[in-house]
Amino acid sequence: MNPAQIYSQPAAYLVVAAFLLATGIYGLIRRRTLIGMLISGELIFAAASLNFMALNRFTAADQSVGQIAVLFIMGLAAAEVAITLSIIIAVYRNYRSIVSKDLSELKG
Amino acid sequence: MNPSLLLAATPSAAFPFSDWIVAAIFIVCLATTITGALIAAFTKRIIRSVCGLAVCCLGLAGLYYFLNSPFLALMEILIYIGAVCVTIIFGVMLTEPDEPTPENFVKPYPVIAPLVGLAIGAGVFLGIAKLSLSGNWSAPAALTNDGSVKAIGIALLTTYSVPFELISLVLLVAILGALVIARSGRTKE
């Protein structure tokens, strides 16, 4: 395969999507604040969208299905961000912190 | 306008090295995506992490463009960079998201915890990358649809009209819910 045609290989896109998923999971594990975890969740959404688009482009007979699926993912991600940020603001108002370790009422 | 047209023009009559130039632009998009993801996951300050997410989405828009979808590239920039990142920045301004400084915070497992996170991330990446490299992605026998903006519009208003309307309902309910949740408790102070 001609190395100049790398952009017509599905594997290139799928490996990048796997990388985005891995960094998203790493961030979800390591971040201590709620907004950091939200950003990592957005990375995972981006990985799923890229997977949809790559497989749609290279294996689907109907080329518009994957694009519509990604549009729906974007809409759901926007709704998720709006609700999550309002919850974060409400949590910050009650606890004066959004570090996930502080958000507990039980001892131990 | 889109890469398939560039591909059609690639044979030697076209601009010299045009396929290598297109490949270089693709590599730049890949590098932007990966760099943005790394910034988003590894920086300490949250505001830098948000900027990393924006950079990552810019690279993703380029990748969507290479996947024959200029429409989704535009939507990615509009929705993610224009709406999601800006909303997260509003959240950063309204709270104090930065991780506690080391003076008043003792990390429970300073060495083991990053290694465990890295191991899990590397495991996920290597596993899925191996699967996607070994997969046999066969092209379809015949395309029923070229995936143009016109085709997307027709599909959204015929086959997918119910999910399309439901998405608008979800967005409406999400906005109302966000307002209600963020508003409650504000008058008590």
What are the Cα distances from residue B156, in Å, to A61, A83, B11, B114, B147?
Answer: 17, 26, 36, 44, 12
Q: Could you read off the pLDDT of A9-56 as tens digits, one per residue?
A: 888 899 999 999 999 999 999 888 889 999 999 999 999 999 999 999
Contact B128 A40 (CB under 8 A): no
What are the Cα distances from residue A98, in Å, to A26, A82, A94, A104, B180?
Answer: 19, 16, 10, 11, 19
Of B61 and B104, the one with more pLDDT: B61
Q: Could you read off the pLDDT of B48-91 as tens digits, one per residue?
A: 999 999 999 999 999 999 999 999 999 999 999 999 999 999 98
| pTM for this predicted structure | 0.87
ipTM comes to 0.91
Cα separation, A55 vs B107, whole angstroms: 42
Considering only CA atoms, which of A52, A93, A90 is closest in space to residue A71? Answer: A52
Q: What is the pLDDT of residue B1?
A: 45
Q: How many helices (H) and strands (E) does chain B have?
A: 8, 0
Considering only CA atoms, which of B11, B60, B138 is closest in space to residue A24? Answer: B60
Q: Could you read off the pLDDT of A58-96 as tens digits, one per residue?
A: 888 888 999 999 999 999 999 999 999 999 988 888 888
Whole-number average pLDDT of chain B:
85
Query: For residue A36, which residues of chain B lie inside 8 Å, CB to CB?
Result: 46, 49, 97, 99
Mean pLDDT for B92-109 is: 70
Query: For residue A11, which residues of chain B lie inside 8 Å, CB to CB?
Result: 132-133, 135, 137
Question: Angle at CA B59, nearest 5°, toward A7 and A59?
Answer: 40
Give me the domains of chain A, ranges plus CATH numbers.
11-95 (1.10.287.3510)
Query: For residue A79, which residues of chain B lie inside 8 Å, CB to CB?
Result: 170-171, 174
| Residue A103 sits at the chain B interface (C-beta within 8 Å) | no
User: Minimal Cα–Cα distance from A78 to chain B, Å?
Assistant: 6
Q: What is the pLDDT of residue A95?
A: 82
Of B98 and B150, the one with more pLDDT: B150
Considering only CA atoms, which of A58, A63, A32 is closest in space to residue B107? Answer: A32
Mean pLDDT for B119-142 is: 88
Mean pLDDT for B141-162 is: 89
| Chain centroid, CA A63 distance in Å | 23
